[in-house]
Amino acid sequence: MPAAELAARRFIPVAGGQQAIEIGGVPTTVTQPSRVFDSQRQVYVDPPAPQGGGKPAVTPRAEYKKMPKGARYVVPDGQTYVKG
């Protein structure tokens, strides 16, 4: 097989589906997600982690002034405080 064809067949999509398993003695149907198999390394490949997220949004000063006492707000360094 040519190298280009081998490279094209390295990652194989594997369809997800339903699987019947027993949980606590009760038969249960579980949905398995679709996955990708790396045929060269012989392992399933995990999807990349979602980008973004992480730190909560900083509370703008105008919004802070409108907040009632006891409301939570976030400062630029990422710390969360309660308005007193």
Q: Per-residue pLDDT tens for 2-19?
A: 777 767 788 899 888 888
* Phi/psi at 12 (5° precision): -115, 120
pTM (global) more than 0.75: no
Provide DSSP, 2-30. Answer: -HHHHHHTSEEEE--EEEEEEETTEEEEE
Q: What mean pLDDT comes out for the span 63-67? A: 87
- Residue 21 pairs in a beta bridge with 28
Q: What mean pLDDT comes out for the span 57-76? A: 86
